[in-house]
């Protein structure tokens, strides 16, 4: 261990001042945990495959960081993808990627945990392994090499990067991490021998997916004909779920970034899951059921987070925070407590049908921290397709309420390319925005209002009703962007769009299979860092795909049939495939499905009727 640690130490003394924002690499944040590596215990490094400013805002890694470090026999360090100047300097100096607090090279840890939050970070994952000097493929690693473990939403279809992970975790990490730590500790005690045998043992832990224990078979047309488990591996692998979130209260003291992060605030996770049933939304399907934390717990925890971090903003975090059944009371109590400390309470995203003047006044008491609404579409027909119950009047009233409470800058999220979309549906976005700027909620033009309209391209995601749908082609996307560019030439309105080719690549990787592994590796070798537009190159990806005889349009632009076997068929997010198919048919017919929190059970499969059920803060199920 000495040589690697010594070289990193020397690098910090001589060279760290040569890179931009050296605070990204120091590891001396408030609340950072400086635990030494342990010979008998389990040593982990948690990696976000993007730069520090983004990774420090990720709640999931903060939870695991504290969960692991609270154990006496384990430690967790952190690592992020260095910025390009740091990467070049490390390679020039022969310095391997290291953990921030310990400054120990990643190759010396027992477990390297990498979160897969987004498909456009897949090449980054390989860049991280390369910088760390860890063999890229699981099959190439020796007993002495770290276990490379994946998690996050990408684990629900990790097949394009499956060959690079020893195993992945489906579902909520804090529910399974202690079983994994115990297994690794025991393996170390036995001398870290028989890596293959150890992976077989890991596969017996519920929620753990070991890709090397499954063989995929293909038909001549390229579709999957079957997925064969090997050596007793489970089929399917079921996700892990925390039944009662009141029993999991972390993080309490998250590290405070030294460099301003993308979300410069502390997050209070008020609940998980969503049952509204938006048919495009992967998070709304895979994080079911809804599990709310109690109001009293959140009230005390929120104040504790502010005291522990010194942040001047507390974000009430969830998929849709205004859906929390005690949101008005919780927002009122927290705002009253924190107002005298100059701390704002915010909600990162609101659905238009959940918004109210009362809630707007509560969260806007200290300062107007920005308001985001996600209408997604602007035509009644498409709203029925995606199962989103709102109207133009809902949006106008929400904007009007916020305007009266003092907001002058708002962001609206829309989506193009949804199943069944026509040009008129795109033009309806422009019409709705013009109406907002012209009449507000009926009281005349909202003077001084600035609207930022953000438009993304629909990408069909696994484990959603739209996993059978096609994604629109690049020329089709360009046509929609042209309509919006012309139609949104409105005073006070700016619009942004996601790069067409980036959305297209996201579609390729989202529903991809293991044949894409060599393509990802080739793209990583070419220097692709795809989550950053200045480094994104569709041409490099296109060449890599062609080099392995793969057509991106086959992955993206074709509609799937009911009987097609998906590459992720052996991985269960809880929601039944039969339910998703019926939802797809209902989308094509424009039929709604009610929220099961307030109506009858839809029999989606996410609940077991016993422990894993909808849990509301008011005590209902």
Q: Which domain covers residue 105, as residue numbers?
A: 2-238
d(CA 609, CA 190) in angstroms, rounded, equals: 41
Residue with tokens 């003092």: 406
d(CA 539, CA 537) in angstroms, rounded, equals: 5
Residue with tokens 């942004």: 496
Tokens matching residue 445: 């033009």
CATH of the domain at 116: 3.40.50.280
pLDDT of residue 77: 98
pLDDT of residue 124: 95
Same domain, 231 and 376: no
Smallest CA-to-CA distance from 460 within 388, 531, 508, 412 is with 508
CATH of the domain at 461: 3.30.750.200
In a domain, 104, yes or no: yes
Strand segments (E) across 164-209: 167-169, 208-209
The pLDDT tens digits of the residues spanning 536-570 come to 899 999 999 999 999 999 999 999 999 999 999 99
In a domain, 365, yes or no: no
Q: Is 177 left (phi over 0), alpha (psi -120 to 50) or beta?
A: alpha
Query: Residue 191, class by beta-carbon neighbours within 10 Å (0-12 exposed, 13-18 middle, 19+ buried)?
Result: exposed
CA 604 to the chain's CA centroid: 22
In a domain, 38, yes or no: yes
Name the domain count of the chain. 2
pLDDT of residue 355: 56
In a domain, 362, yes or no: no
pLDDT of residue 322: 83
pLDDT of residue 354: 46
pLDDT of residue 517: 98
Tokens matching residue 287: 């994080």
In a domain, 335, yes or no: no
107-127: burial string, b at 16+ Cβ within 10 Å, e else = bbbbbbbbbbbbbbbbbbbbb
- Domain end, chosen from 211, 238, 265, is at 238
The pLDDT tens digits of the residues spanning 328-381 come to 899 989 999 998 888 988 877 666 754 554 676 667 654 565 677 889 999 999
In a domain, 337, yes or no: no
Sheet holding 450-457, edge to edge: 371-376, 409-416, 450-457, 493-497
Tokens matching residue 197: 């045998």
d(CA 515, CA 525) in angstroms, rounded, equals: 17
What parts of the chain have a pLDDT lower than 70? 1-3, 261-263, 349-351, 353-358, 360-362, 364-370, 619-621
In a domain, 578, yes or no: yes
Same domain, 374 and 233: no
197-233: burial string, b at 16+ Cβ within 10 Å, e else = ebbbebbebebbbbbbbbebeeeeeebbeebebeeeb
- Domain end, chosen from 213, 238, 263, is at 238
Same domain, 209 and 60: yes
Helix H or strand E encompassing 330 = helix 327-339
Q: What are phi and psi of 411, to 5 degrees?
A: -120, 135
In a domain, 462, yes or no: yes
Residue with tokens 């293959």: 196
């Amino acid at each position: 261990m000495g040589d690697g640690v010594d070289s990193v130490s020397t690098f910090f003394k001589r060279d760290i001042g040569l890179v931009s924002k050296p605070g990204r690499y120091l590891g001396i944040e408030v609340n950072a945990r400086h635990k030494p590596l342990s010979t008998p215990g389990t040593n982990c490094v948690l990696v976000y495959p993007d730069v520090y400013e983004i990774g420090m805002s990720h709640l999931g890694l903060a939870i695991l960081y504290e969960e692991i470090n609270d154990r006496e026999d384990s430690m967790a360090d952190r690592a992020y993808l260095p910025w390009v100047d740091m990467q070049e300097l490390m390679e020039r100096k022969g310095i391997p990627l290291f953990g921030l607090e310990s400054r120990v090279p990643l190759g010396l840890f027992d477990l390297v945990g990498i979160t897969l939050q987004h498909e456009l970070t897949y090449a980054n994952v390989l860049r991280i392994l390369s910088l760390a000097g860890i063999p890229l493929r699981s099959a190439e690693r020796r007993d002495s090499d770290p276990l490379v473990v994946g998690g996050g939403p990408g684990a629900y279809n990790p097949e394009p990067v499956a060959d690079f992970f020893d195993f992945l975790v489906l579902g909520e990490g804090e529910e399974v991490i202690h079983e994994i730590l115990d297994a690794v500790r025991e393996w170390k005690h036995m001398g870290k021998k028989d890596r293959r045998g150890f992976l077989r043992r890991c596969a017996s832990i519920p929620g753990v997916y070991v890709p090397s224990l499954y063989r995929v078979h293909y038909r001549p047309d390229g579709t999957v004909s079957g997925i064969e488990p090997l050596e007793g591996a489970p089929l399917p692998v079921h996700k892990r779920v925390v039944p009662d979130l009141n029993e999991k209260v972390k993080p309490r003291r998250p590290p405070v970034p030294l460099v301003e992060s993308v979300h410069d605030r502390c997050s209070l996770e008020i609940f998980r899951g969503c049952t509204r049933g938006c048919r495009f939304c992967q998070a709304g399907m895979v994080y079911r059921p809804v599990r709310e934390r109690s109001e009293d717990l959140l009230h005390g925890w929120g104040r504790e987070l502010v005291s522990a971090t010194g942040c001047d903003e507390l974000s009430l975090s969830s998929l849709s925070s205004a859906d929390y059944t005690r949101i008005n009371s919780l927002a009122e109590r927290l705002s009253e407590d924190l107002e005298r400390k100059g701390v704002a309470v915010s909600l990162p995203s609101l659905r238009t049908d959940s918004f109210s003047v009362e809630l707007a006044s509560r969260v806007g008491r200290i300062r107007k921290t920005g308001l985001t609404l996600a209408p997604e579409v602007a035509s009644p027909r498409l709203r029925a397709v995606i199962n989103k119950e709102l109207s133009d009047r809902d949006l106008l009233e929400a904007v009007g309420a916020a305007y009266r409470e003092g907001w002058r800058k708002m962001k609206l999220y829309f989506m193009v390319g949804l199943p069944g979309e026509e040009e008129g549906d795109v033009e309806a976005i422009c019409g709705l925005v013009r109406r907002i700027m012209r009449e507000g909620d009926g009281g005349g033009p909202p003077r001084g209002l600035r609207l930022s309209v953000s438009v993304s391209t629909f990408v069909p995601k696994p484990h959603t009703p739209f996993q059978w749908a096609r994604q629109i082609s690049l020329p089709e996307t360009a046509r929609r962007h042209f309509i919006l560019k012309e139609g949104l030439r409105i005073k006070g309105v700016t619009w942004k769009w996601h790069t067409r080719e980036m959305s297209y690549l996201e579609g390729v990787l989202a529903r991809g299979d293991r044949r894409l592994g060599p393509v990802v590796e080739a793209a990583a070798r070419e220097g692709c860092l795809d989550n950053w537009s200045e480094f994104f190159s569709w041409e490099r990806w296109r060449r890599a795909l062609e080099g392995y005889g793969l057509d991106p349009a086959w992955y993206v632009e074709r509609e799937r049939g009911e009987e097609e076997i998906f590459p992720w068929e052996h991985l269960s997010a809880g929601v039944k495939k039969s339910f998703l198919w019926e939802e797809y048919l209902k989308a094509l017919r424009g039929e709604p499905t009610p929220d099961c929190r307030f109506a009858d059970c839809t029999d989606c499969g996410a609940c077991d009727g016993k422990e894993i059920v909808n849990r509301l803060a008011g005590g209902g199920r």
